[in-house]
Amino acid sequence: MFRLFCAALSVLTFASSARADCADVAGSCTVPMGSYEIILPDQPLNAPIVVYLHGYGGNGKGALRQAHIAKVFQDRGYAVLAPNGMRRGGDGPTIWSFHPDMPKLRDEVAFYEETLSDAVKRFGLNRDRVLLAGFSIGGSMVHYAACRSPDLAAAYAPVAGSFWRPHPKECAGSVKLLHTHGWTDGTFPLEGRIVGSGFAQGDAFVTTSIWREANTCRQPRAKKFSKTGKFMRRAWTECADDTALEFALFDGGHTVPTGWADMAADWFETVVPK
């Protein structure tokens, strides 16, 4: 039986069991810096955690409604924690404070640390097995969080979002990271684009080169090639010990395709073994 915490049962298309409120309070889990939603697996004690960052204008509940993402992780024994972004201007669309040159609404890394600490304390989850993932600007936020605080999570899995221009000159340390992107993505193209605000999205290939440097990869070329369903994958294996870097392309646009969650979970369980 699915156990659902911190989100209304009616908004989850895949939920079929009774709702349990967050610490006996109906609605979102709250922490001093914001709020988050969470669903738990059948056996939550010491369960690994996927922190999933929604895209522009989204929210945690909406992220958990995506059964091809949240339910897949939940069925595999993960807790899925979906933080809520902040509203631009107080009442505008929800965003993440990811870009160094944009107005800073919140210290997002500190917020994610806070949500993780809270969820681990509330539900007995495993803080050492965290996958930070996200879509679009949520994916960009994953890159920036990993760059600033490589130890925030055990591994990272951004989708359809890269660094923005100007690209960071360097990151604070090495990581385990799987970047996924659609070949025909027009919203956040592989090479990036200028958006209406005048800010410029970054280049996914330049982003990967920054991570190759952070992981002390000896060659710019990828060494391992594979295919998982619709995903064409290339991995850099001639890098520092205890690092992982992989790029997965699929034939599609600005979306998280079916099959991504299983691929990401398989990858995570390989690079962060129990």
**Residue boundaries of the structural domains of the chain:** 1-128, 133-146+157-274
pLDDT score at 17: 29
Q: What pLDDT tens digit does each residue of the chain (274 aa) get?
A: 333 333 333 333 333 322 334 644 678 999 999 999 999 999 999 999 999 999 999 999 999 999 999 999 999 999 999 999 998 877 789 999 998 888 889 999 999 999 999 999 999 999 999 999 999 999 999 999 999 999 999 999 999 999 999 999 999 999 999 999 999 999 999 999 999 778 999 999 999 999 999 999 999 999 999 999 999 999 999 999 999 999 999 999 999 999 999 999 999 999 999 8
Place of tokens 């369980």: 269
pLDDT score at 99: 87
pLDDT score at 25: 60
For residue 25, report the phi and psi dihedrals to the nearest 5 degrees.
Answer: -120, 125
Place of tokens 């059964």: 67
Verdict on whether the full-model pTM lies above 0.85: yes
Q: Which residues pair with 94 in a beta bridge?
A: 87
34 vs 148: CA distance, rounded Å: 20
**Residue 79: closest CA among 108, 116, 28:** 116
Give me 46's structure tokens. Answer: 């010491």
Q: Are 154 and 134 in contact (CB under 8 A)?
A: no
How far lies 112's CA from each of 149, 167, 190, in Å? 11, 23, 27
274 vs 272: CA distance, rounded Å: 7
Pairing of strands 49-53, 79-83: parallel
